[in-house]
Structure 1
Amino acid sequence: MLYRLCLKSLVALAAAALPWAAQASDDPCFEKAQTQAQLNECAFNAWKRSDVELNHLYQQMGDRLRGDDQARRMMVDAQRRWLSFRDSECSFQTLRTVGASVQPLRQNSCLADLTRNRVTDFQRLLSCTKGAGEQAASECTIR
């Protein structure tokens, strides 16, 4: 019985660590952190860096869509809905850690991961016309 309880605890701990494990290997902040509070701060800063990059790319997309009011409105609407999705998704993913010391780490890691994915999407949209053939360029959302 005690063995199963310990095993369940170990599995829960490993699952809690997974979202930031990949991030930790790329970010020296995570390697230096020695307390939960420091890990939480690293995750928050990683999210904020991703968010700054996302906002920069969003501004570029808005600039490229200047003069195309319909596309610009759709972009704004899509981004608002994506932000709502991101926040809801991360709240859902961290539901079982609310109130725990690891919750800020999990929440901010989730926000950073989803934001980095969105950054990749924006980069792809912004680079669509670069080197694209005539047919492919005509299918680009951002021109």
Structure 2
Amino acid sequence: MHPRFLLALTPLLFTTVAHAADCDNATDQATMNQCAAQQHKAADKELNALYQQITQRLKSKPDSKKLLLGAQRSWIAFRDAECKFASAGVEGGSVYPLIYSNCVTELTKARVETFKNYLKCQEGDMGCPVPGV
């Protein structure tokens, strides 16, 4: 590669890195919205990983697995409806994506904690829907 070409790309590399690391010090609405969406994506990824672990433990209990699927679908519908309501005061505004994403992230994090508790069930715990390991 020609050295001039590399020099021309250098500002793009630093801009991308600086932009990605700016979530802690975001000052403009677009960046805050983007960072909130990234936080939601991370929480959702953790939730999905835990969901997969739970479904693995329920592989010998198809009825329980079906109940989990129904509960999760209902929970997603609740989460989305709750966050639409919670952010309705700013709907259409530039802050809406931030408020909505923060709500979805917080509810997702709470569901993550619920799933983590399900995965801590001890064998023989009659009050826990997920078999222990």
Report TM bin, short chain: 0.7 to 0.9
Question: Unaligned regions of 5+ residues in structure 2, if any?
Answer: 1-20
Aligned AA for 1:140? C
**1:65 match:** 58
Aligned AA for 1:111? V
Give the length in aligned residue pairs: 111
Question: Unaligned regions of 5+ residues in structure 1, if any?
Answer: 1-27
Work out the CA distance in 1 between the residues paired with 2:59 and 2:22. Answer: 39
Task: Report the structure number with the largest CA radius of gyration.
Answer: 2
Residue 30 (structure 2) pairs with residue 42 (structure 1): no
Alignment of 1:1-143 (within 5 A): 29-129=22-122, 134=124, 137-143=125-131
**2:11 match:** none
Please give the TM-score of this superposition, normalised by the length of structure 1.
0.74
Please give the TM-score of this superposition, normalised by the length of structure 2.
0.79
How far residue 63 of structure 1 moved from its aligned partner, in angstroms, is 0.3
**4+ residue segments displaced more than 3 Å:** none
Distance 1:68 1:29, change over 3 A: farther
Deviations 1:27-61 (A, max 9, x none): x7542212100000110000000000000000000
Percentage of pairs with the same residue: 37
Work out the CA distance in 1 between the residues paired with 2:119 and 2:85. Answer: 31
